[in-house]
Amino acid sequence: MSLEFNNNQYLFNILSEKAKKEISSKVFKKNEIVYHQGDEPQHVYEVTNGHVGLISISHDGKEILLRVFNKGQFFGHRTLLSNETYHATTIALTNTQVKSISRRDFEAEIQTNNESLLYITQVLAKELRRSENKFAELATTKVEARILQTLAFLRTRYPNYQWTRKEVGEYCGAKTETVSRILTKAHNEGLISKDGRKINIVDLEKLYEFAENLKA
């Protein structure tokens, strides 16, 4: 396997035949929790359909949306690899179907199948980049730019999900009311249109550019 890898391949498709036999399937209703922050990791999951959010919940109940997984993306891997308990909670954002393999089968897989492990590692490396970029943005950029950028990103990456103001805020470190205000402004600028709660991006390129200019 070359280091050039297909971003869109599915982990569960490249597992060894042995591991594939152990895949099971499960369904979660919207708002159901897949696993809790602090739990011992038992499985690795891949989304068959729907959306799952990885959410960090602080001592006083503030929620931060760290990552989102949609069709074909896997989760739960980080914790198993680092031998820790889950550092955040995963919740089904929509009705969701997932496949999973057990901790034991996953560990056997990564110890015997270099190709699977390499793919997982490459995904981890990208997740780390994204996380560190998010951190740098949060530390250096004003809310308006963050919110518009996040809106554009989430819409590009998860086109079939209707994001709420709360979720957009939790993804980029902003309060719901602030997101609402910025959206109203963006609407007045003709960057987005609003159809009830639904947000439509008029021109994605323009939105990215607009957000970029706010930083200058």
Partner DNA sequence: CGATAGATTGAGAGTTTTCAACCGATGTGG
Partner DNA sequence: CCACATCGGTTGAAAACTCTCAATCTATCG
Interface contacts to DNA, rule CB under 7 A: 142-144, 164-166, 173-181, 183-184, 194, 196-198
Cα→Cα distances 34→80, 106, 121, 149, Å:
15, 18, 23, 28
* 8 Å CB contact between 123 and 72: no
Say whether residue 59 binds a copy of itself (CB under 8 A): yes
CB under 8 Å to 66, separation ≥6 — which residues? 54, 55, 56, 88, 131
CB under 8 Å to 108, separation ≥6 — which residues? 18, 19
Say whether residue 104 binds a copy of itself (CB under 8 A): no
Say whether residue 128 binds a copy of itself (CB under 8 A): yes
Please give the Cα distance from 109 to 158 (Å, whole number).
29
CB under 8 Å to 190, separation ≥6 — which residues? 202
Q: Which of 66, 93, 101, 191 binds a copy of itself (CB under 8 A)?
A: 66
184 binds, among a copy of itself, DNA, none (CB under 5 to 8 A by kind): DNA
- Scanning 17-25, 94-102, 127-135, 149-157 for contacts with a copy of itself by CB under 8 A, the matching segment is 127-135
Which segments of the chain are extended strands (E)? 24-28, 33-35, 43-49, 52-57, 63-69, 74-75, 89-92, 96-102, 192-195, 198-201
DSSP classification of residue 23? -
* 8 Å CB contact between 87 and 37: yes
Residue closer to a copy of itself by CB (options 172, 183) is 172
Say whether residue 132 binds a copy of itself (CB under 8 A): yes
Q: How far is the CB of 121 from a copy of itself (least distance, A)?
A: 5
194 binds, among a copy of itself, DNA, none (CB under 5 to 8 A by kind): DNA
- Scanning 75-83, 91-99, 154-162, 196-204 for contacts with a copy of itself by CB under 8 A, the matching segment is 75-83
Summarize as ranges the residues that interact with a copy of itself (CB under 8 A). 1, 3-5, 56, 58-60, 62, 64, 66-67, 77-84, 87-88, 107, 110-112, 114, 117-118, 120-122, 124-129, 131-136, 138-141, 173, 215-216
